[in-house]
Amino acid sequence: MSATYSRAEVQRDYEIETTTDIVLYRGNGGEFFFNETSEIVPVVGANATEPLAEDEDWAPILRKILLGFVLGLIIIATVVGNILVVLAVFLVKKLRKPCNYLLVSLAVSDLCVAWLVMPLAMMYEIMGSWTFGSRACEVWVSFDVLSCTASILNLCMISVDRYYAISKPLEYGVKRTTRRMTFYTALVWIGAACVSLPPLLVLGNEYKVMKDYGAAQCGVSQNFYYQIYATIGAFYLPLCIMVTTYLRIFILARGIVIAEIRAQTHMDALCYVEVPTTTTSTSSRRAAAHASSGTNDQEDRSAYEKAATTTTTDTEGPSSMQSTAKSSIDGPLDQQPVS
């Protein structure tokens, strides 16, 4: 790269003896070369650029290597972890429940970030320039916004789901169906698309090529109204919802714990009440036993006498009837005249 400097521009740092413009070239070694039309003598005390030391030449390279290694580990860990979450939900029968659909959606959104967004971002950071063209920049930025917004909205929907599970457990158990949770998951991704697609379809993202350095920059659209819309929809609104729901969950959980502690304390007080007991002497116990046995004997005797009386009455009935009949027969016979 070359640049043209006039005599007036370099007068403060150098002394020149001709009026011809000079052409300044920067070499690979960090030195300055001038054409042969001018004789330049450095001024004492001027800020002249010195060649870089060998250690300073390796410092940026080492920094890029270390940065690439750390970012690569983060990408691998994110991909493996989210794949394990998805496989666990689909392979374990106990985890295949509607309440885990939002967790799978969250894992998928994070997997998209780690698989499709972070590798290009790592290359962009290491190289210092976007080398994939303007169209790839548009798609990459929009997909980045889509995945990140979906992750945030999934977290927001999970907080709302947990709140209803704690505040209305009976109603939540009835309404927590596969169809309803699928609708909530689709709603999350539709909301993320509404935030990420306007720059791709209408506004356009920021893709600039710096003429001075020859490096290209890629970023999200800087439209003022879109920035307000995106920040409210993707950050501030979900943040307010999550703070409110988790605060309510904390209050409800605290109330449940306090109620359980009070109930346990009340049960402990009832279980450990001392029952008063009376002590009696051996003679008193014997007298009570004797009185009880005497009462029973007397009752048995009365019942026996009553039964005997009833039996006697029944036995005497026919004999009395016979004597009565005999007297009735003998009577008339006595009254008959004797011949």
String of DSSP letters for 135-185 = HHHHHHHHHHHHHHHHHHHHHHHHHHHHHHHHHSHHHHHHH--HHHHHHHH
Cα–Cα distance between 325 and 338 in angstroms, integer? 23
57 within domain boundaries: no
pLDDT for 336 beyond 70: no
Instruction: Identify the band that residue 316 occupies on the pLDDT scale cut at 50, 70 and 90.
Output: very low
Please give the average per-residue pLDDT across 24-50, as a whole number: 45
**Among 126-130, 178-182, 289-293, which is the least confidently predicted range?**
289-293
* pLDDT, position 304: 52
Whichever domain contains 196, its CATH number is 1.20.1070.10
Domain boundary among 239, 266, 293: 266
314 within domain boundaries: no
Tokens for 185?
């998951």
Which contacts of 222-225 are long-range, i.e. CB under 8 A and separated by 24 or more positions?
223/199
Residue 82 and residue 33 share a domain:
no
Residues 185/105, Cβ–Cβ less than 8 Å: yes
pLDDT for 242 beyond 90: yes
pLDDT digits (tens, 9 = 90+) for 168-177: 888 887 878 8
Cα–Cα distance between 289 and 339 in angstroms, integer? 79
Residue 169 and residue 21 share a domain:
no
String of DSSP letters for 202-250 = II--EEEE-TTT--EEEE----HHHHHHHHIIIIIHHHHHHHHHHHHHH
Residue 135 and residue 98 share a domain:
yes
99 within domain boundaries: yes
Query: Quick one: what percent of the chain has pLDDT higher than 90?
Result: 19
Please give the average per-residue pLDDT across 311-325, as a whole number: 45
Say what the pTM is. 0.59
* C-alpha 3: how far from chain center: 58
Please give the average per-residue pLDDT across 114-135, as a whole number: 84
Residue 243 and residue 126 share a domain:
yes
Cα–Cα distance between 184 and 153 in angstroms, integer? 10
Cα–Cα distance between 144 and 230 in angstroms, integer? 13
pLDDT digits (tens, 9 = 90+) for 58-106: 777 888 888 888 888 999 999 999 999 999 988 888 888 888 889 999 9
Q: Which of the 8 DSSP states describes residue 272?
A: T
Residue 34 and residue 74 share a domain:
no
Domain boundary among 209, 243, 266: 266
Residue 35 and residue 76 share a domain:
no
Residue 33 and residue 74 share a domain:
no
Residue 21 and residue 74 share a domain:
no
* C-alpha 333: how far from chain center: 121
323 within domain boundaries: no
Task: Count how many domains the chain has.
Answer: 2
116 within domain boundaries: yes
Residue 79 and residue 34 share a domain:
no
Residue 125 and residue 77 share a domain:
yes
Residue 123 and residue 92 share a domain:
yes
Top pLDDT among 320 and 289 is at 289
Nearest to 150 by CA among 184, 121, 199: 184
Domain enclosing residue 35, as ranges: 2-42
**How many angstroms separate the Cα of 173 from the Cα of each of 111, 168, 254, 259?**
30, 9, 22, 23
Please give the average per-residue pLDDT across 112-119, as a whole number: 88
